[in-house]
């Protein structure tokens, strides 16, 4: 039925639409700082950790910033993001996400989550799905953000599964790179032009089917 022993999911943009909340919070910050910001540029931020994203945004601003100023900005963005997350509940799973988790569990595979977000556990709790994962690797557990493979390799190690036996699911180019460089098979969720390195691309989680991936 499937050759995989585990599936490792990204969170933001795969399980729930928090990618939209990150976008809105970064957009407000970028506008206030006079840095150009649109959906296309935002694609480069997906899967990138908070300070890394801020650096990319501020590199396009008309002035420079001290480290202390950057921390203030990152904190303000995070508070805005957390206000948006506080409105979430179990109805905010992306269509198809719960079915995918059920399908993977039903097939007897392990389920991991790999998110560079420091808010990953809060989001899982708002969605009421923390206990659906055998292991969660968040920002606190890794030294290198995506596209580095550390986060997916750590998840595979925690699950006790060889990376070659893992399927990774991602909505970000940086995330797909992380999966591929970990030696896993990648399913990209979204735009084929953005997710070119993925082995399989689906337009949304509604199209996730384990049997389609070998």
Task: Give catalytic residue positions.
Answer: 10, 12
Secondary structure of residue 184 in the 3-state scheme? coil
| Residues 185-214, interacting with ligand BG6 (CB under 6 A) | none
Pick 61 or 82: Cβ nearer Mg ion? 82
Identity of the residue, 10 or 135, whose beta carbon is nearer to Mg ion in the bound complex: 10
Binding residue for Mg ion, selected from 12, 43, 135, 150, defined by CB under 5 A: 12
Q: φ, ψ for residue 211 (rounded to 5)?
A: -65, -20
Phi, psi of 83 (to 5 degrees): -60, -40
Q: C-beta of 122: minimal distance to ligand BG6 in Å?
A: 9
Residue 12 near residue 116 (C-beta atoms within 8 A): no
Task: Please report whether residue 27 would count as binding ligand BG6 according to CB under 6 A.
Answer: no
Site membership for Mg ion, residue 97 (CB under 5 A): no
| Cα separation, 122 vs 62, whole angstroms | 34
Q: For residue 69, give the 3-state DSSP assignment.
A: helix
Using CB under 5 A, which residues numbered 126 to 185 contact Mg ion?
171-172
189 binds Mg ion (CB under 5 A): no
How would you class 74 by CB atoms within 10 Å of its CB: exposed for 0-12, middle for 13-18, buried for 19 or more?
middle
Radius of gyration of the chain (CA): 17
* By CB under 6 A, residue 118 contacts ligand BG6: yes
Closest CA to 2 of 100, 99, 104: 104
Contact status: 17 vs Mg ion (CB under 5 A): no
Q: Which CB, 48 or 210, lies closer to ligand BG6?
A: 48
Nearer to Mg ion, 65 or 122 (CB): 122
* Binding-site size, ligand BG6 (CB under 6 A): 19
Site for ligand BG6 in 147-186 (CB under 6 A): 172
Nearest to 42, CA basis, from 177, 191, 201 = 191
d(CA 170, CA 190): 9
- DSSP-derived letter for residue 70 is H
Binding mask 50-69 for ligand BG6 (x = CB under 6 A): x--x----------------
Q: Which residues bind Mg ion (CB under 5 A)?
A: 10, 12-13, 171-172
Residues that bind ligand BG6 (CB under 6 A): 11-12, 19, 22, 45-50, 53, 78, 115-119, 139, 172
């Amino acid at each position: 039925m499937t050759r995989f022993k585990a599936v490792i999911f990204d969170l933001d943009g795969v399980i729930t639409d928090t990618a939209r909340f990150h976008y809105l919070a970064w957009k407000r910050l970028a506008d206030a700082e006079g840095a150009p910001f649109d959906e296309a540029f935002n694609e480069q931020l997906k899967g990138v950790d908070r300070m890394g994203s801020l650096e990319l945004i501020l590199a396009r601003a008309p002035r420079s910033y001290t480290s202390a100023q950057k921390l203030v900005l990152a904190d303000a963005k995070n508070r805005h993001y957390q206000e948006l997350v506080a409105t979430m509940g179990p109805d905010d799973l992306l269509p198809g996400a719960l079915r995918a988790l059920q399908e993977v569990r039903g097939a007897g595979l392990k389920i991991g989550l790999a998110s560079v977000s420091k808010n990953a556990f809060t989001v899982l709790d708002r969605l009421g799905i923390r206990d659906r994962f055998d292991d969660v690797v968040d920002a606190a557990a890794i030294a290198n953000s995506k596209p580095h493979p550390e986060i997916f390799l750590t998840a595979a190690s925690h699950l006790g599964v060889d990376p070659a036996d893992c399927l990774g699911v991602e909505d970000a180019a940086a995330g797909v790179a992380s999966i591929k460089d970990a030696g896993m098979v990648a399913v990209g969720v979204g735009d084929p032009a953005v997710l070119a390195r993925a082995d399989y691309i689906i337009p949304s989680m509604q199209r996730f089917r384990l049997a389609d991936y070998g």
